[in-house]
């Protein structure tokens, strides 16, 4: 049960951006999606959110094909934070967060007590209560990111999809945000760039390269120097933090030369 | 300021919510009053003198079955000419403003107006095909030709945009291309086939004219606007959801493609109806939503009714002024909307800049 994919593929105008990926998070788990730019993380999130339909395989929500679930029902279960969602509308933080209540509301969009409470709660959790009356275009990049996350929380989803949510955030908010989503009682799929953050906060990782899943499992099993070299083409040392049983990754600056035959010959 | 999942939810912000509700109520009631006063006052404007008391008496005679003695000529001027004209003006202002609201939301472009979909140029082509070439003249008349023309242009825009991928910018580009195409077709017909009298007649109509509208036009426009406004009010959250683009709208539970087609079809039908009755009145659809947003903020449950009301009031005044400004020769109301609307628009832009 929850949101799963079985052998999904997406042929996006001639290019196979997702190629046979199976993802089945356990309820409440936080799954990190890793991989370099263009590896298919965002595309997989679009498939999971139902914004795009797979060209092969199936995305299921509670064992029903997501294609057969109405958008409204899907939005009550799944909230998504995409990258680069911007607006030209002069809208306040509170009104943006309240957009998250749309799938729960009837016609006319009138506010109800439950909606107000959900919005206030989401603002509080993202540290935006003091900014509720602020206009979107006056916010910093990090604040905008938090507003979108607050909007997703106001949706009160069971499944949360986040596409590089820590971009633009100061390190403290990166940590706070990931702490928050791991503690929420929702299943989260989060695309991340930072391997150490992924190692610290995710229960499981799925590593993508060229649209294919190349590794999956617990962070300590997945994040090996070999895999990092294969996927990112960089040399890294991985230590295991014994206490937390989490891998710690250090990148070695001269690493790229070490792979070159010429450099080897000179040494 | 921490991200804390454990903290209980304090119910804050009730007071400001209540405050904006009260403010909205005030704006809404004010706009209704403004519209009623505008219609009443506009009826008194014109070469033949009619007082507000006359207007009241005539309305009571017709609507409440009163039997107050009023001169027959005044009765005819008010009931057969000025009142239907003011009501059609109100309906057109409301309808065009409403279409502007819809398109600015769907296309996420503050410059969108009812004519970006090629509707006005399609209407003019339809009008000249009927009016100058005489195709289907007796069956359609110029209004019917305009209606058919605008729907054809809109369909061409949708087909092109769909074939090109269907994104917002494709809709706008297709609209621009189709607008140019149909404008060229209109010019071609006018230059190749029209004599100067026919050209003048068609041009005047194209610039927007409320000359000679009758009660059946009031019924047609009024019902169209009422249906369109109720539809939008009912689906206000959908329009809100488009603020951050199609993907966010979709993740908020909106069936993006279906809603887009539905709203655009509503817009096209509404605009085509207005254009067929009153010609292509520019500027109202672009500016009035911005003016209303200044009063209500961006949420459509408030924006839609206020745009409808102030759009209606604005058009009533523009029409009244256009009637008498260069009396006895009337000014096309489309010229009036631009002449009055542009300074108003610029004033709003400046005020907003200061507010930021």
pLDDT digits over A140-162, tens only? 888 898 999 999 999 999 999 99
Highest mean pLDDT (candidates A173-182, A234-243, B5-14): A173-182
- B49 CB burial (10 A radius; 0-12, 13-18, 19+): exposed
Give the pLDDT of residue B287. Answer: 87
Partner residue opposite A180 with nearest CB, options B5, B9, B14: B5
Task: State residue B239's pLDDT score.
Answer: 94
Of A108-112, A208-212, A214-218, B336-340, minimum mean pLDDT range: A108-112
Does residue A106 surpass a pLDDT of 80? no
Residue to mutate among A102, A119, A128, with most B CBs inside 10 A, is A102
At residue B295, does pLDDT exceed 60?
Answer: yes
User: So what's the pLDDT on residue B326?
Assistant: 77
Q: Are A124 and B7 in contact (CB under 8 A)?
A: yes
3-state secondary structure chain B: CCCCCCCCCCCCCHHHHHHHHHHHHHHHHHHHHHHHHHHHHHHHCCCCCCCHHHHHHHHHHHHCCCCCCCCHHHHHHHHHHHHHHHHHHHHHHHHHHHHHHHHHHHCCCCCCCCCCCCHHHHHHHHHHHHHCCCCCHHHHHHHHHHHHHHHHHHHHHHHHHHHCCCCHHHHHHHHHHHHHHHHHHHHHHHHHHCCHHHHHHHHHHHCCCCCCCCHHHHHHHHHHHHHHHHHHHHCHHHHHHHHHCHHHHHHCCCCHHHHHHHHHHHHHHHHHHHHHHHCCCCCHHHHHHHHHHHHHCCCHHHHHHHHHHHHHHHHHHHHHHHHHHCCCCCCCHHHHHHHHHHHHHHHHHHHHHHHC
CB B206, CB B77: distance < 8 Å: no
More confident residue, A267 or A208: A208
Q: How far apart are the CA of A206 and the nearest CA of chain B, in angstroms?
A: 23
The reported pLDDT for the residue numbered B17 is 53
Average confidence (pLDDT) over B278-301: 88
pLDDT of residue A107: 57
Residue-level pLDDT at B137: 64
- Give me chain B's average pLDDT, please: 84
Q: What's the pLDDT at A228?
A: 92
In this predicted structure, what is the pLDDT of residue B8? Answer: 42
Distance CA A146, CA A154 (A): 12
Sorted by sequence, the CB contacts under 8 Å of residue A157 that are 6+ apart come out as: A76, A77, A78, A79, A186
How far lies B165's CA from each of A13, B174, B223, in Å?
11, 11, 34
Average pLDDT along chain A? 88
Q: Which residue bears the tokens 């000249």?
A: B128
Q: Give how far A214 is from chain B: nearest CA, Å.
A: 28
* Predicted pLDDT of residue B131: 77
Identify the CA nearest to A208 among candidates A198, A216, A196: A216
* Minimal C-alpha gap between A254 and chain B (Å): 38
For residue A95, what pLDDT is reported?
94
Give the pLDDT band (50/70/90) at residue A1: low
Q: Would the pLDDT of A264 be above 50?
A: no
Instruction: Check whether B3 has a pLDDT greater than 60.
Output: no
- In terms of Cα–Cα distance, which of A76, A63, A81, A78 is closest to A159? A78
Answer whether residue B51 shows pLDDT above 50: yes
Which pLDDT score, from 0 to 100, does residue B140 have?
75
C-alpha–C-alpha distance, residues B121 and B285, integer Å: 15
Give B-chain residues touching A132 at CB under 8 angstroms: 12-13
Query: Which residues, other chains included, contact B161 with Cβ-Cβ below 8 Å and sequence gap of 6+?
Result: B170, B171, B173, B174
Query: Considering CB atoms only, which of B3, B7, B253 is closest to A75?
Result: B253
B281 torsion bin: left (phi>0), alpha (psi -120 to 50), beta (else) = beta
Q: The tokens of A18 are what?
A: 């997702």
At residue B356, does pLDDT exceed 50? no
What's the pLDDT score for residue A255? 47
pLDDT for res B11: 41
Q: Is the ipTM of this complex over 0.90?
A: no
Cross-chain Cβ contact B243/A87 below 8 Å = yes
Q: pLDDT tens for residues A2-25?
A: 899 999 999 988 888 999 999 999
How confident is the model over B3-17, as a mean pLDDT?
Answer: 44
- Is a pLDDT exceeding 50 seen at residue B14? no
pLDDT in tens, B190-212: 888 877 777 777 777 777 778 88
Alpha-carbon torsion A11, A12, A15, A18, what sign? Answer: negative
Contacts of A154 in chain B (CB under 8 A): none
In this prediction, residue A209 has a pLDDT band, given cuts at 50, 70 and 90, of very high
Please, which pLDDT band fits residue A111 given cuts at 50, 70 and 90? low
Pairing assessment for the beta strands A3-12 and A78-81 based on DSSP bridges = unpaired
How confident is the model at residue A100, as a pLDDT? 94
Is the per-residue pLDDT at B5 higher than 50? no
Ranked by mean pLDDT, the top range of A95-109, A186-200, B159-173 is: A186-200
Query: Which of A184-188, B167-171, B252-256 is predicted with the least confidence, judged by mean pLDDT?
Result: B167-171
Closest residue in B to A181 (Cα–Cα): B5
Selecting from A46, A96, A121 the residue whose C-beta is nearest the C-beta of B9 gives: A121
The β-bridge partners of A190 are A32, A162
What pLDDT, on the 0 to 100 scale, is given for residue A71? 92
Mean pLDDT of B40-59: 87
Distance between CA A228 and CA A209 in Å, rounded?
A: 11
| A257 pLDDT above the threshold of 60 | no
pLDDT tens digits for A50-68?
989 999 999 999 989 999 9
User: Would you give the distance in Å from CA B89 to the centre of its chain?
Assistant: 10
Confidence class for position A203, pLDDT limits 50, 70, 90? very high
Query: Residue B52: what pLDDT?
Result: 87
Mean pLDDT of B248-261: 91
CA of A230 to nearest chain B CA: how many angstroms apart?
Answer: 32
Average pLDDT over residues B255-275: 89
**Does B11 sit within 8 Å of A116, measured CB to CB?**
yes
pTM of the model: 0.86
List all residues 6 or more positions away from B139 whose beta carbon is below 8 Å from its beta carbon: none
Percentage of residues in chain B having pLDDT higher than 90? 33
Identify the band that residue B316 occupies on the pLDDT scale cut at 50, 70 and 90: very high
Report pLDDT digits (tens) over A22-38: 999 999 999 999 999 98
Which pLDDT does position A60 carry in this prediction? 93
| Chain B residues within an 8 Å CB radius of A80 | 247-248, 251
Q: Which residues of B178-207 are buried (b: 16+ CB within 10 A; e: fewer)?
A: bbebbbebbeebbeeebeeeebeebbebbb
For residue B258, what is the nearest residue in chain A, using CA coordinates? A71
Give the B-side interface with A, CB within 8 Å. Answer: 1-7, 9-14, 16-17, 108-110, 233-238, 240-241, 243-245, 247-248, 250-255, 293, 297-301, 356
pLDDT at A109 over 80: no
pLDDT at B6: 45
Residue B87 reports pLDDT greater than 80: yes
């Amino acid at each position: 049960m929850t949101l799963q994919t079985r052998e999904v593929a997406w042929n996006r105008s001639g290019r196979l951006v997702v190629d046979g990926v199976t993802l089945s998070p356990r309820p409440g788990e936080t799954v990190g999606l890793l991989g370099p730019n263009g590896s298919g993380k965002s595309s997989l999130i679009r498939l999971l959110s139902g914004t795009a339909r797979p060209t092969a395989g199936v995305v299921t929500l509670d064992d029903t094909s997501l294609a057969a679930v109405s958008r409204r029902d899907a939005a009550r279960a799944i909230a998504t934070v995409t990258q680069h969602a911007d607006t030209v509308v002069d809208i306040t933080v509170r009104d943006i967060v309240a957009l998250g209540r749309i799938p729960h509301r009837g016609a006319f969009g009138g506010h109800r007590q439950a909606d107000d409470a959900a919005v206030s709660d989401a603002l509080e959790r993202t540290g935006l209560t003091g900014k509720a009356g602020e206009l979107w275009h006056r916010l910093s990049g990090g604040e905008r990111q938090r507003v979108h996350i607050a909007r997703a929380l106001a949706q009160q989803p069971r499944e949360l999809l986040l596409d590089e949510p820590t971009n633009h955030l100061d390190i403290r908010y990166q940590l706070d945000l990931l702490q928050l989503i791991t503690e929420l009682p929702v299943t989260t799929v989060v695309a991340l760039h930072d391997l150490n953050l992924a190692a610290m906060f995710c229960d499981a990782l799925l590593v993508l390269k060229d649209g294919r899943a190349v590794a999956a499992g617990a962070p300590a099993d997945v994040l090996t120097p070999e895999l990092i070299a294969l996927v990112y083409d960089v040399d890294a040392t991985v230590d295991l933090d014994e206490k937390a049983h989490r891998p710690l990754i250090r990148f070695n600056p001269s690493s790229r030369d070490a792979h070159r035959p010429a450099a080897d010959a000179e040494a | 300021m921490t991200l804390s999942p454990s903290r209980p939810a304090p119910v804050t912000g009730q007071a400001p919510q209540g405050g904006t509700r009260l403010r909205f109520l005030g704006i809404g009631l004010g706009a209704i009053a403004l519209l009623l006063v505008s219609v009443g006052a506009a009826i008194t404007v014109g070469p033949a003198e009619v007082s507000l008391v006359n207007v009241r008496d005539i309305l009571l005679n017709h609507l409440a079955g009163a039997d107050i003695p009023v001169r027959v000529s005044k009765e005819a001027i008010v009931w057969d000419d000025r009142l239907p004209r003011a009501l059609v003006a109100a309906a057109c202002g409301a309808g065009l403003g409403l279409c502007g609201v819809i398109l600015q939301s769907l296309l996420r472009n503050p410059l969108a107006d009812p004519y970006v979909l090629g509707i006005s140029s399609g209407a003019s082509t339809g009008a000249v095909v009927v009016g100058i070439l005489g195709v289907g003249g007796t069956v359609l008349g110029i209004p019917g030709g305009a209606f058919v023309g605008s729907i054809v242009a809109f369909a061409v825009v949708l087909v092109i945009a769909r074939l090109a991928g269907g994104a917002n910018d494709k809709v706008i580009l297709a609209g621009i291309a189709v607008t140019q195409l149909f404008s060229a077709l209109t010019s071609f017909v006018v230059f190749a086939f029209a004599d100067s009298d026919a050209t003048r007649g068609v041009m005047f109509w194209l610039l927007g004219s409320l000359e000679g509208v009758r009660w059946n036009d009031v019924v047609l426009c009024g019902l169209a606007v009422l249906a369109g406004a109720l539809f939008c009010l009912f689906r206000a959250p959908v329009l809100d959801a488009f603020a951050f683009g199609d993907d966010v709208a979709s993740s908020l539970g909106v069936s993006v493609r279906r809603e887009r087609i539905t709203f655009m079809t509503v817009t096209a039908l509404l605009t085509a109806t207005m254009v067929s009755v009153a010609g292509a009145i520019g500027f109202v659809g672009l500016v009035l939503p911005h003016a209303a947003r200044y009063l209500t903020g961006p949420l459509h449950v408030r924006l839609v009714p206020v745009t409808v009301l102030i759009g209606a009031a604005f058009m009533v005044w523009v029409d009244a002024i256009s009637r008498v400004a260069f009396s006895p020769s009337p000014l096309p109301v489309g010229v009036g909307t631009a002449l009055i609307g542009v300074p108003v628009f610029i004033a709003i832009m400046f005020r907003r800049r200061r507010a930021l």
